[in-house]
């Protein structure tokens, strides 16, 4: 079996499609109205409860999963997203012990979205701050050989 992607049940397809296509800059690969698919495996479905016929009730702020996106310019994304009044942040940019910086916020339907710098970007940032290959490898938990390739 092969993993095929993530489908998010949404109540407002127009608003959700706008968020992922325009705000998050995801490319639509298929738009069937009630179902929209994006490159990378993310899909939106507006009539999910009907489709599965299981008496499901929409929940808000389930806080039991997150969508993960990576970028090489986290600050640019933070500045862009904080200008959108409908977006509620869980937290702004924070750095984890392994050196990766992330931010988390809710999409328009209250699903958690994490935007993080790639680990390659985190390692390059450490190197740019004057860290040695060994220090960077220890901090990021990436192999020293990989870090050397980034020089």
For 5-43, what is each residue's pLDDT tens digit? Answer: 999 989 899 999 999 999 999 999 999 999 999 999 999
pLDDT of res. 89: 97
In this predicted structure, the answer to whether residue 50 has a pLDDT above a threshold of 80 is: no
Domain ranges of the chain: 1-47, 64-117, 119-150
In this predicted structure, the answer to whether residue 136 has a pLDDT above a threshold of 80 is: yes
Please give the model's pTM, rounded to 2 decimal places.
0.87
CA distance 51 to 95: 41
Dihedral sign computed on CA atoms, order 134, 136, 142, 147: negative
Q: What phi and psi values does residue 23 have, to the nearest 5 degrees? A: -70, -50
- Which ranges constitute the DSSP H helices of the chain? 13-18, 48-52, 74-82, 119-128, 133-140, 144-149
What number does CATH give the domain 64-117? 3.10.180.10
- One fold for 1-47 and 64-117: yes
What number does CATH give the domain 1-47? 3.10.180.10
Name the DSSP class of 37. E
């Amino acid at each position: 079996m092969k993993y095929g992607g993530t489908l998010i049940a949404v109540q407002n397809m127009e608003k959700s499609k706008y968020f992922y296509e325009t705000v998050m800059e995801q490319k639509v690969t298929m738009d069937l109205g009630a179902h929209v698919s994006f490159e990378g495996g993310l899909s939106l479905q507006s009539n999910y409860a009907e489709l599965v016929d299981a008496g499901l009730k929409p929940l808000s702020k389930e806080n039991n999963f997150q969508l993960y996106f990576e970028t090489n310019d986290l600050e640019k994304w933070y500045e862009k997203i904080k200008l959108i009044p409908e977006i509620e942040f869980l937290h702004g940019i924070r750095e984890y012990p392994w050196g990766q910086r992330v931010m988390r916020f809710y999409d328009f339907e209250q699903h958690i979205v994490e935007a993080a710098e790639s680990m390659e970007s985190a390692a390059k940032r450490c190197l740019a701050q004057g860290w040695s290959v060994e220090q960077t490898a220890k901090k990021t938990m990436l192999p020293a050989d990989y870090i050397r390739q980034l020089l």
